A and B are shown apart, each in its own frame.
Chain A
């Protein structure tokens, strides 16, 4: 009893540093961190609804402008070769292109927010300390995907309602909507991190995104036109979706590898 020193006078002996965690547990904690970043963003978004409101207002404005100004039901677009009235291939392609231009620019108006808001609120340094770079990247990517897919799922039905495409393959349209908007969000996440560190962010983001998203848009517009037109091309569109997914996987891998260079101070 007498050999025990009183706790108030002497600090306890320093503990040895814990051994570095095994790779598997580090990966697991990284996944947990990514999920935490995602949840943080989702919570603050659900409280303020800043990004979703901005995206939706932009998308609705563009959609209404397109619906009111672009002629999509003229003579040449609804007259089939046999003479009866219906949806020509030209009309299907035109509508698919319009739909994805609306979705692309709406995404461009809000997807950089995930990183820009951290720089503007000066919370980025804290986030750099709190989580591994990869966890930040995948957390933000997940948030952007959720945001853009939610917006697309709201906009596409309105588009169908207003512009009246003849949807021949509903399942394909749904697949193109979900995969296309998720792909747009995935490949532009690192660009959001880049523009957050630059000036003149809004205009720069769309310019940087153009070459990166072009393959996505080409495939998705093609597939959406096939969903409107139906028939054998929609088989081909399903195969092209595989190409889309591999492009996205390639770019996300590259982005994850490069992200630390952009994120670090």
Chain B
């Protein structure tokens, strides 16, 4: 319990960062430095210099899906085991996922303004992200509206699973609507559509963001465990 006391009194000299926490700083610093000093302007972009936003936007958008999935899996594990710690983890993952979703929405809107000349144009991925934001809003509203800890854990896990099933259907159904073609490229990563410099920085950025969000998640889960 010693390190948890340290968390409650931040001034305590006992609470130091672990090596892997320190190591996140040089990785992210390298991402920023390489983005601006090494990677060249990209072709096929209406503003080649602004293509660098993909090192931020794409990893955050991928992590949004990852943390959404983690929250769903933790919810399922809660229902199967009925152990409170899985509820705490589900809520922590959902909060980190919400942060990623907001960042992806904002960076996406900026990117869309540069590339497509419009902040918002109801591209299928923009539709999907709005729906995911609404699900998070409903999820946290529900958590706030139930007092009893056990009941809150149960109903929010049930809701997370229901919404988790609905999302793939929504993403499948929406593009079938008339007049909703996507402007997002697809298959760029798999088909090697990025040059070597872009690929290196992209993967470094993905690892770095995964690192930092996992750290956030750990902190949030520990705080949640102390609250409960």
Is residue A190 within 8 Å, beta carbon to beta carbon, of the partner chain?
Answer: yes
- Which stretch, A33-41, A68-76, A126-134, A212-220, touches the partner chain B? A212-220
A211 contacts B131, C-beta separation under 8 Å: yes
Task: Compute the total of residue contacts between A and B using a CB distance below 8 Å.
Answer: 81
What is the bound-complex CA distance between A200 and B151, given in angstroms? 16
- Which stretch, A79-87, A102-110, A139-147, A253-261, touches the partner chain B? A253-261
What is the bound-complex CA distance between A212 and B162, given in angstroms? 7
**Chain A residues closer than 8 Å to B161, beta-carbon distance:** 254, 258
B162 contacts A258, C-beta separation under 8 Å: yes
A194 contacts B166, C-beta separation under 8 Å: no
B174 contacts A204, C-beta separation under 8 Å: no
B145 contacts A204, C-beta separation under 8 Å: yes
Q: What 0/1 readout, one digit per residue, does chain B (139-175) give for beta carbons within 8 Å of chain A?
A: 0011001110001001101110111011101100110
**Chain B residues closer than 8 Å to A215, beta-carbon distance:** 166, 169-170, 173
- Which stretch, A116-124, A166-174, A243-251, touches the partner chain B? A243-251
Residue of B nearest to A258 (CB): B158
Q: Tell me how far the C-beta of B164 lies from the nearest C-beta in chain A, rounded to whole angstroms.
A: 10
**Chain A residues closer than 8 Å to B159, beta-carbon distance:** 191, 194, 208
Most chain A C-beta atoms within 10 Å of own C-beta, residue among B79, B163, B173: B173
B173 contacts A243, C-beta separation under 8 Å: yes
Is residue B210 within 8 Å, beta carbon to beta carbon, of the partner chain?
Answer: no
Q: Tell me how far the C-beta of B125 lies from the nearest C-beta in chain A, rounded to whole angstroms.
A: 16
Residue of A nearest to B174 (CB): A218
Do A212 and B79 contact each other (CB < 8 Å), given the known contacts A194-B142, A207-B137, A262-B158? no
Q: What 0/1 readout, one digit per residue, does chain A (224-265) give for beta carbons within 8 Å of chain B?
A: 000000000000000000010001001100110010011000
**Chain A residues closer than 8 Å to B134, beta-carbon distance:** 207, 210-211
B170 contacts A194, C-beta separation under 8 Å: no
B155 contacts A210, C-beta separation under 8 Å: no
**Chain B residues closer than 8 Å to A254, beta-carbon distance:** 161-162, 165
Q: Tell me how far the C-beta of B77 lies from the nearest C-beta in chain A, rounded to whole angstroms.
A: 13
Is residue B138 within 8 Å, beta carbon to beta carbon, of the partner chain?
Answer: yes
Q: Tell me how far the C-beta of A90 lies from the nearest C-beta in chain B, rounded to whole angstroms.
A: 11
A198 contacts B142, C-beta separation under 8 Å: yes
Residue of A nearest to B146 (CB): A198
Query: What size tier do the contact residues of chain B reach?
Result: 20 to 34
A251 contacts B162, C-beta separation under 8 Å: yes
What is the bound-complex CA distance between A243 and B137, given in angstroms? 28
Which of A208, A218, A251 is close to B142, meaning CB atoms less than 8 Å apart? A208
Is residue B37 within 8 Å, beta carbon to beta carbon, of the partner chain?
Answer: no
Q: What 0/1 readout, one digit per residue, does chain A (180-208) give for beta carbons within 8 Å of chain B?
A: 00000000001100100111100010011
Is residue B135 within 8 Å, beta carbon to beta carbon, of the partner chain?
Answer: yes
What is the bound-complex CA distance between A214 and B155, given in angstroms? 21
Is residue A177 within 8 Å, beta carbon to beta carbon, of the partner chain?
Answer: no
A194 contacts B135, C-beta separation under 8 Å: no
A214 contacts B131, C-beta separation under 8 Å: yes
B138 contacts A208, C-beta separation under 8 Å: yes
**Chain A residues closer than 8 Å to B162, beta-carbon distance:** 190-191, 212, 251, 254-255, 258
A212 contacts B166, C-beta separation under 8 Å: yes
Instruction: Please list the residues of chain A having a beta carbon within 8 angstroms of any beta carbon in chain B.
Output: 190-191, 194, 197-200, 204, 207-208, 210-212, 214-215, 218-219, 222, 243, 247, 250-251, 254-255, 258, 261-262
- What are 29 residue pairs bridging A and B, where the CB atoms are less than 8 Å apart in the complex? A191-B159, A194-B158, A198-B155, A199-B145, A199-B146, A199-B147, A207-B134, A208-B138, A208-B159, A210-B134, A211-B131, A211-B166, A212-B163, A212-B166, A214-B131, A215-B170, A215-B173, A218-B170, A218-B173, A243-B173, A247-B169, A250-B169, A251-B165, A251-B166, A255-B162, A261-B79, A261-B154, A261-B155, A262-B154
Q: Across chains A and B, which 8 residue pairs bring their CB atoms closest together, nearest first? A: A198-B145, A207-B138, A258-B158, A199-B145, A261-B154, A211-B135, A208-B138, A194-B155
